[in-house]
């Protein structure tokens, strides 16, 4: 008789966190194909890590960052060898890549990482709650760092006229990239104590939402798929 693992919050949470981490830190081969390095036993929700593939493609940051998020009890060569041995000795007919037990995995983005534009949009939403305007932050950047970036109101004017760059050709300047501008602003926010706390909270909230989505997908899978038959 199979165990209804959906009733075990600890096991369910562990798998959800590994699923999100796998989406955040993809291991790819030279052809940029995503490789399956996190596996799971569908009946017990026990996790297995394909350390050999991580080593082969020199993706140690995958394991180091997993340890930073406390998915490992401790990260060391000895500990890594234990995970490698566990995967090597696993019955491959009983374990599957972690995404295989998540119903609807393909239509859900489980990554908790936000790009710079998403971080700024969420930051501006917080700023609005403080009764402040985004342009004030761009002015603050100029006052503190003497860096002039295109403010949101200026971008809005540019987009209104169906143009996404300044005409700087006469000055010999390269067209400005909005992605580059967003990256510079997020870097500025991270270097300001008050704003850095807000950005950290945005990232934590994003992570918690991604884990919740993964847990919901796990429960849905075990409610309707083959594992309870």
| End-to-end alpha carbon distance in the chain | 10
Q: Tokens 């991604």 identify what position?
A: 210
Q: pLDDT band for position 43 (50/70/90)?
A: confident
pLDDT range class, residue 190, cuts 50, 70, 90: very high
Q: What is the pLDDT, as a whole number, of residue 229? A: 43
Q: What is the pLDDT of residue 129?
A: 94
Domain residue spans of the chain: 5-101, 116-204
Residue 11's pLDDT is 81
Instruction: Quote the DSSP letter at residue 130.
Output: T
Residue bearing the bigger pLDDT, 160 or 186: 186
Report the pLDDT averaged over residues 171-181: 61
Contact criterion met (CB below 8 Å) for 66 and 24: no
Specify the higher pLDDT residue, 11 or 208: 208
Percentage with pLDDT > 90 across the chain:
40
Task: Check the CA dihedral 30-31-32-35 and report its sign.
Answer: negative
Q: Dump pLDDT digits (tens) for 64-85.
A: 888 888 887 766 777 788 888 9
pLDDT of residue 4: 55
* Predicted confidence (pLDDT) at residue 109 exceeds the cutoff of 90: no
Give residue 219's pLDDT band: very low, low, confident or very high (50, 70, 90): confident
Give the DSSP per-residue string, 159-206: HHTT--S---GGGTPPPPPHHHHHHHHHHHHHTSHHHHHHHHHHHHHH
Arithmetic mean of pLDDT, 190-208:
94
pLDDT at 108: 64
Task: Determine the pLDDT at residue 7.
Answer: 56
With 70 as the cut, is the pLDDT of residue 209 above it?
A: yes
Q: Whole-angstrom Cα distance, residue 48 to residue 155?
A: 47
């Amino acid at each position: 008789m199979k165990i209804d693992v959906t009733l075990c919050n600890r096991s369910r949470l562990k798998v959800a966190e590994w699923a999100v981490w796998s989406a955040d830190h993809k291991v790819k081969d030279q052809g940029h194909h995503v490789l399956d390095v996190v596996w799971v036993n569908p009946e017990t929700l026990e996790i297995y890590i394909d350390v050999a593939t991580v080593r082969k493609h020199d993706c140690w940051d995958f394991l180091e960052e997993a340890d930073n998020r406390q998915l490992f009890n401790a990260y060391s060569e000895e500990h890594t060898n234990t995970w490698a041995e566990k995967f090597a000795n696993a019955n491959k007919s009983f374990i599957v890549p972690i995404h295989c037990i998540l119903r609807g995995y393909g239509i859900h983005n489980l990554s908790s990482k936000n790009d710079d534009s998403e971080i700024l949009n969420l930051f501006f939403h917080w700023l609005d709650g403080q009764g402040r305007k985004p342009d004030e932050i761009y002015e603050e950047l100029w006052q503190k760092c003497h860096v002039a970036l295109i403010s949101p109101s200026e971008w809005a004017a540019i987009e209104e006229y169906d143009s996404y760059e300044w005409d700087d050709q006469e000055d010999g300047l390269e067209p400005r990239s909005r992605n580059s501008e967003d990256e510079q602003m997020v870097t500025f926010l991270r270097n300001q104590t008050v704003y850095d706390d807000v950005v950290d909270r945005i990232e934590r909230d994003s992570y918690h939402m991604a884990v919740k989505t993964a847990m919901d997908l796990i429960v849905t899978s075990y409610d309707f798929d083959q594992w309870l038959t």
